[in-house]
Chains A and B, each alone.
Chain A
Amino acid sequence: MSLSLVNAELFKVRTTSIWWVLGIVLVPLYAASVLVNWAQFAAGQPDEGLSDTQSAQIEAALEPVNVATTLYTSGQFFGVLIVVLLGAIIVTSEFFHLTATTTFLTTPRRESVILAKFGAAVVIGLLVWLITTVLNLIVVPLIMNQLDVPAQLGTAAVWRAIGLNALAFGLWAILGVGVGVLIRSQIAATLVLAITYVVGTQAIGLIFFLLSEWVAEWFNKLQVIVPTTASQLMISGTELPGNPPRWVGAAVLIGYAAVTGVLGTLITKRRDIS
């Protein structure tokens, strides 16, 4: 991957309004995530009448270490949404604004362009991760203090979760670029991504729930193939009962990123630019 091409891609993002528009959108979403996480843990113990696995899961989630990993990765859901959208827009805007001709005239080796876009998207993803993480490290100890939970900044699991959160941002960035190549229309790509990301997770979750209730219990374990579930699993503090191990989440995300990445590059190499 050529660094000057990644630099050129970042320059493209920097010289249009897209970065600060998405940045401004992210601020309230991040604040809301922190507040929701806080409220959830402040609410306390689980209700009666849940299945054994469910109450075990909730109890596990309320263990201090899991409270900590959740809080220190606050903003992942919306941060990743912004990053995945930006990743797609990096590609689709070339066709939307008819700049693809200029881009591919400057760099006729198209795989280099797509690779540079992957690189630029990952840099942006890590940047958003860095900003949310720094904010979390400032805000979360105060919340933990209020919740009467130790800050746990010395716990390995917390730092592992923060590290894996970075991996999630990077992988989603790649996924976004891949989807942008597959769906060339700017409006379609952003809509499809946003809807599947926000609503799709719940909808697919419901489908898996029904399948596990009515067909076979093991369908529940397949939930991890939903990309958002995979990235949430990846950053959990301890292994949650009834869930696959963390590395499965990472593997699933890497799989999606690789498939969209490779497919996207192959398609871009073949396509006529006119």
Chain B
Amino acid sequence: MSTDEIVVEHLTKQYKRLRAVDDLSFSVRAGRVTGFLGPNGAGKTTTLRMLLGLVTPTAGQATFGGTRYAELADPIKHVGAVLEASSAHRGRTGRNHLRMICRAAGLPDSRADEVLTIVGLTPAANRKFKGYSLGMRQRLGIAAALLGDPRVLILDEPANGLDPEGIRWMRDLLKALAAEGRTVLVSSHLLGEMQLLADDVVIVAAGKLIRQGPVDDVLGTMGTGAHVRVRTPQPAELKAALSELNATATEQTDGSLMVVGAEAAAIGHAAFAASVELHELATERGDLEQVFLQLTAGKAGIR
């Protein structure tokens, strides 16, 4: 098993009265971006902290292809992590924060300046952390994660506080890193963003696994896979024409039709042949947010 793969097996964390993570098993493949989703308090952060050796599991284990984080030969050079609470000393400059990590990890100081450039923080490098905005703090965290040029990236809500331009930048960065064959695990609540970013998803609620798999599969099994939205002043005629294609059209509350079972081109052709007027014809991917809410219904809520 490659140490690029994240393997979580029967992972459990029992706090005094609360089972934050409950017999959780899933795996994360290299070369893809995996979204780690779940309602507030689902146990995502706790899982990531156990994976990184910061919190001791009550049972089970979370490893990099069988190797625990603390047993990795050069942890910083293998795994880069941005955690929710990752923070720096208020009175230390961003550059010195990174240099401090370099020194402990045996990396050259120059690496700090390189990652500062990557995350676009060079102009603020010599300013103290207390003067950083939320987005700048997040970027410093990402910079720290990139220091060791790691094979595996773990990010806990990295989009927090980033502006739209910053979110796009991060999306491109993570996609590029995954395209290089690295493993990328990202937790987030921004489901729209996740739909654009993730190849796979792991959905948890109340400490348990709800669903794992490629985004399209997860969307598909919930009946909100790819579909075509059609708007027409003659819905009855169109439905009749579509029934010959073995496609089903369901009326939506906004007056449009949701067609499943036929490509946009085939629908357009059928409408043309039946002389049905079309005002809109658009292929839509399933909606991750809707699926997420269905899957976690009744399991959300603060515990």
- Interface residues, chain A, with chain B CB atoms under 8 Å away: 4-5, 7-8, 11-12, 15-17, 93, 97-99, 101-109, 270, 272-274
Contacts and interface: CB of A to CB of B under 8 A. Distances in A.
B55 A4 contact: no
Contacts of A5: 104
B100 interface: yes
Given A12-B100, A101-B54, A273-B49, A109 B87 contact: no
A11 B70 CA distance: 24
Nearest to A100: B54
B300 interface: no
A102 B101 contact: yes
A15 B92 CA distance: 6
Contacts of A7: 103
A272 B20 CA distance: 14
15 contacts: A8-B104, A11-B99, A12-B100, A15-B96, A15-B100, A16-B89, A98-B87, A101-B86, A101-B87, A102-B144, A109-B70, A272-B49, A273-B55, A274-B46, A274-B54
A208 B89 CA distance: 43
A17 to B, nearest CB: 5
Contact of A108 (B70, B90, B92, B97): B70
B63 interface: no
Interface of B: 45-46, 49, 52-56, 69-70, 72, 75-76, 81, 83, 85-93, 96-97, 99-101, 103-106, 144
A101 B101 CA distance: 12
A104 B54 contact: yes
Given A8-B103, A8-B104, A11-B99, A105 B81 contact: yes
A4 B106 contact: yes
B83 A101 contact: yes
Nearest to A97: B89
Contacts of B92: 12, 15-16
B55 A274 contact: yes
Given A105-B81, A109-B70, A274 B49 contact: yes
Centre residue among A93, A99, A106 by max chain B CB count within 10 A:
A106
Contacts of A103: 104
A205 to B, nearest CB: 38
B103 A4 contact: yes
Nearest to B81: A105
Given A4-B104, A109-B70, A270-B56, A102 B96 contact: no
| Closest 4 pairs between A and B when the two form their complex, measured CB to CB | A108-B70, A8-B104, A98-B87, A8-B103
A106 B92 CA distance: 18
Contacts of A11: 96, 99-100, 103
A101 B53 CA distance: 10
B104 A107 contact: yes
A274 B100 CA distance: 21
Contacts of A17: 91
A57 B82 CA distance: 62
A270 B56 CA distance: 8
B55 A93 contact: no
Contacts of B97: 102
Contacts of A12: 89, 92, 100
A101 B85 contact: yes
Nearest to B75: A108
Nearest to A102: B86
Given A15-B92, A99-B88, A270-B56, A106 B101 contact: yes
A19 to B, nearest CB: 11
A111 B101 CA distance: 17
B17 to A, nearest CB: 16
